[in-house]
Structure 1
Amino acid sequence: MDRGSIAAKKGEGGSADSPAPADGFEVLLITGMSGAGRSHAADCVEDMGWYVVDNLPPKLLVPLVDMMTNAGDGRGVHRLAAVIDVRSREYFDDLNEVLSHLDDLGVRTRILFLDASDDVLVTRYEKVRRPHPLQHGNRLIDGIEEERALLANLKERADKVIDTSSLSIHQLSTKLYEAMVGSGPKTVSVHIFSFGFKYGTPTDADFVADVRFLPNPFWVPSLRELTGWDKPVADYVLSSDGAKAFLDAYEKALLIAIEGYAREDKHFVTIAVGCTGGQHRSVAMSEALASRLRSHGLDVTVSAREQRRRR
């Protein structure tokens, strides 16, 4: 079953007198069959910026939503994802009541249901050598069948059902990104940071660019005490011979790589741009490269390792 993209807005219920949640607040329930990939789905959703809680008794969802929508402390949490399933035992029976209550409050609540065939679930449980939460000392298939019966109504109510029977974890990630964010390079978050080679080459970068081939503003007295964030330095660096040609070529190469990363379920890319001291050339080139990548709709952040400040 697929009732359309989970990113599509669900109808907002609730009476006219119901207190409205904070603007833009969303609740996503991640549920489904044990062994179908809920934990991996929760990790993916957390990577997308959601606040995720696992194995939450359903009744605790209401006070948690209330706390987040009425905190008023500027923490900015506006997307809550809760993994709720039969592990909560008898508390799971409260879920329908809780969902109805959230609907009455006008909270946007969506349900993501992970499913898989009985044969696949049996195989997965045999590999991890753990009992099914509803097995109760009986056969594994007994627990699976009981769980499937308990979840039948919830599956029917789900906004998005993903059958993971034939999916690898990377393929599941791709389906989740497609359902909640979209597809293609725009699902990749890029971080660019400048650094100075004399302080050591970074070990946490996917790409390292060396811009020491450009003239160094350090040797220009009027620019020495400035940084690449200052316009005179940026103008000096970006107008230097080779700067534009390098950015043109590097931008093109990175876009090819980022498109490939999106296909391969890599959604975070770190790019390091280095010069001698990490003050002038690398800073200016990092900002210019970030601007170019943003023009393609990419989410790009920038920092300067040696200056300990964030843009």
Structure 2
Amino acid sequence: MQFVVVTGISGSGKSTAIDVLEDIGYYCIDNMPPELMVKFADICVQSEGNFDKVAFVADVRGGALFFKLKDAITDMRNMGIKVKVIFLDCSDEVIMRRYKETRRRHPLYEIANGNIRDAIETERRLLESVRDEVDYYIDTSSTSTAEFKSKMYDIFLSAGQSAMRIEVRSFGFKYGVMNDADLTFDVRCLPNPFYIPELKSKTGLDPAVSGYVMSFKEAQTLLEKLTDLIDYLIPLYEKEGKAQLVIAFGCTGGKHRSVTFAEAVAKHLTDSGKTIRLAHRDIEKR
């Protein structure tokens, strides 16, 4: 079991950190009291693998309960759970600017009588109790969101593992476009198996149909160019911190050409080491 505790200065990027962890498969809980962390950890142990990756955000919003965080971390480690603590920090000036831009109230606003600088200083003193438990320290003062996400991926992803979820889909234009697709490719420019009597009732999953579609030089060239383009784009999307990429192929009815190309591109990406999800939206429609 892998547990991550995200803590640090308010306004330093804990929400972004938890979003990243959620994208890579962690079950995430924001602002959970430390004592409940231990109880939840016990539930996870008893569930036998249903919760093998969990992330908590714990900070001064928890009030007096927050000061039991150190004990909670020790208790979970004594249970045999691998607990990593990530501490996010930021300069006072940047935090003050972020709160001004977002118009959010600092958790210690009332305690500091509305003085944001005093609130930050008070929070720093309160957080000293957990600094010796920290496994990873990240200062986000001069870090862009994309750079911060990249650091999180470097820490929590295995070598070669991608944080981005890739979906490859086929569809038929006659039933409407895929509005959630990031990349949509129209393959209606290729010969249509629909007009071949023995292929009309089959789909691109049938070797006879896919063989017919790919028998044309134009189809082979198009597939080569599209895979080159997709291979080029994926690292760029990953660099910008994109969590999901939907690649859609459309033909008239969504049964022949689009299915053939979706299958071919999905195989190409899988062979390249990518984890993808493949779906054919309109393949069962008449």
TM-score between both structures, scaled by the size of structure 2: 0.90
Change (3 A) 1:79 1:166: same
**Segment drifting more, 251-260 vs 126-135:** 126-135
CA contact (8 A) 1:185 1:262 kept: no
User: In structure 2, what is the equivalent of residue 66 of structure 1?
Assistant: 42
| Corresponding position: 1:86 with 2:63 | no
- 1:258 counterpart letter in structure 2: I
- 2:12 counterpart letter in structure 1: A
Q: Secondary structure at the match of 1:222?
A: helix
| Corresponding position: 1:259 with 2:246 | no
Task: Give the deviation of 1:102 after TM superposition.
Answer: 0.7
Task: Determine the C-alpha separation between the residues in 2 that align with 1:79 and 1:258.
Answer: 26
1:143-162 superposed matches below 5 A = 143-162=119-138
User: In structure 1, what is the equivalent of residue 108 of structure 2?
Assistant: 134
CA contact (8 A) 1:185 1:259 kept: no
- Unpaired runs of at least 5, structure 1: 1-24
Q: Secondary structure at the match of 2:202?
A: coil
**Segment drifting more, 107-116 vs 174-183:** 174-183
Match of residue 52, structure 1, among 14, 28, 36: 28
User: In structure 2, what is the equivalent of residue 27 of structure 1?
Assistant: 3
CA contact (8 A) 2:203 2:256 kept: yes
Task: Give the deviation of 1:209 after TM superposition.
Answer: 1.2
- 2:86 counterpart letter in structure 1: L
Match of residue 142, structure 2, among 162, 166, 180: 166
Task: Determine the C-alpha separation between the residues in 1 that align with 2:224 and 2:134.
Answer: 46
Q: Secondary structure at the match of 2:198?
A: coil
**Segment drifting more, 294-303 vs 96-105:** 294-303
Report the number of matched residues: 283
| Corresponding position: 1:42 with 2:8 | no
Task: Determine the C-alpha separation between the residues in 1 that align with 2:79 and 2:37.
Answer: 13
- Going by fraction, where is helix more abundant, 1 or 2? 2
CA contact (8 A) 1:188 1:298 kept: no
CA contact (8 A) 1:194 1:273 kept: yes
| Corresponding position: 1:109 with 2:83 | yes
**Segment drifting more, 136-145 vs 246-255:** 136-145
Change (3 A) 1:41 1:308: farther
Task: Determine the C-alpha separation between the residues in 2 that align with 1:183 and 1:103.
Answer: 25
Equivalent pairs: percent with the same residue? 39
**Segment drifting more, 48-57 vs 299-308:** 299-308
- Unpaired runs of at least 5, structure 2: none
Task: Determine the C-alpha separation between the residues in 2 that align with 1:64 and 1:83.
Answer: 14
User: In structure 2, what is the equivalent of residue 249 of structure 1?
Assistant: 225
User: In structure 2, what is the equivalent of residue 10 of structure 1?
Assistant: none
Task: Determine the C-alpha separation between the residues in 1 that align with 2:179 and 2:164.
Answer: 20
CA contact (8 A) 1:177 1:183 kept: no
CA contact (8 A) 2:146 2:239 kept: no
Q: Secondary structure at the match of 1:77?
A: coil
- The runs of at least 4 aligned residues of structure 1 exceeding 4 Å deviation read 182-185
Task: Determine the C-alpha separation between the residues in 2 that align with 1:223 and 1:211.
Answer: 17
- 1:105 counterpart letter in structure 2: M
Task: Determine the C-alpha separation between the residues in 1 that align with 2:161 and 2:217.
Answer: 31
Task: Give the deviation of 1:183 after TM superposition.
Answer: 8.3
Task: Determine the C-alpha separation between the residues in 1 that align with 2:63 and 2:118.
Answer: 16
Q: Deviations over 1:22-65 (max 9, x none)?
A: xxx21111111111111121112112221111010011112212
Q: Secondary structure at the match of 1:223?
A: helix
User: In structure 2, what is the equivalent of residue 12 of structure 1?
Assistant: none
Task: Determine the C-alpha separation between the residues in 1 that align with 2:90 and 2:23.
Answer: 23
